[in-house]
Amino acid sequence: MNYLMFKVKKEIKDFIDDERGAGVIELVLIIVVLIGFVFLFKDKIGTLLSTVFSKINSQAESIYQ
């Protein structure tokens, strides 16, 4: 009986100490947060990108002329 309790406690401790897959979970959480920020600020991001690309295009046109 004592051996059985020792074995159960050891298995529970091993399960808690096991960190396999922790990196994957962290990566998924980071991706979820980034997607949330994109949805939250999609209008501002779109405006910013539009402004940046219009400036790039206007400066590129001045180089080619």
pLDDT digits (tens, 9 = 90+) for 16-39: 888 777 788 888 999 999 999 999
Statement: residue 15 has pLDDT above 80: yes
pTM for the model stands at 0.51
Q: Report the C-alpha gap between 3 and 18 in whole angstroms.
A: 22
Q: Report the C-alpha gap between 29 and 33 in whole angstroms.
A: 6
Look up tokens 């790039």; give the residue: 56
Tokens of 55: 């400036």
